[in-house]
Amino acid sequence: MNKEEKPKRLRRLLDAIIITTVSSIIATVMAGLALVVFQQVHSAQSAIGIHEIEIKSLRGDLTKTQELLAEELAPIKAHLRSLEADPLLLEEIQKLRREIEERFENEANHQIQQQLPNN
């Protein structure tokens, strides 16, 4: 090897080391970012799964509540229908029906508000 080729070879070797080092740093940063993104996605999927379970539970509770209310209101409705045949009581019955519906709606809204998470 002559004296002119030695610095060129040293320079090429140094360039290769720098390129390899920079490439390794970039690959490490990209891997770190990919890990952070993966963790965020995994966390979001877990949260979605939990919310899906909560929604299913709330749907079941709502169905049970609706069934219970239907059972409780059935005798009242039957009695109101029998009273509707009397034209004098019709206006009073309609007023009572509106009151019952308002109570039902208020109770349903109250139950929903209690079940919602506080944000």
- Statement: residue 109 has pLDDT above 70: yes
Residue 87 phi, psi (nearest 5): -65, -25
Q: What is the pTM of this model?
A: 0.44
Residue that has been written with the tokens 């002559």 in this structure: 2
pLDDT on residue 113: 82
Torsion of CA 85, 89, 93, 96, to 10 degrees: -160
Instruction: Please report how many Cα atoms fall inside a 13 Å half-sphere around the Cα of residue 52, on the Cβ side.
Output: 6
Q: Which of 2-6, 37-41, 54-58, 79-83 has the lowest mean pLDDT?
A: 2-6
| Domain ranges (residues) in the chain | 5-115
Region 82-95 average pLDDT: 74
pLDDT digits (tens, 9 = 90+) for 7-46: 788 889 999 999 999 999 999 999 999 999 999 999 999 9
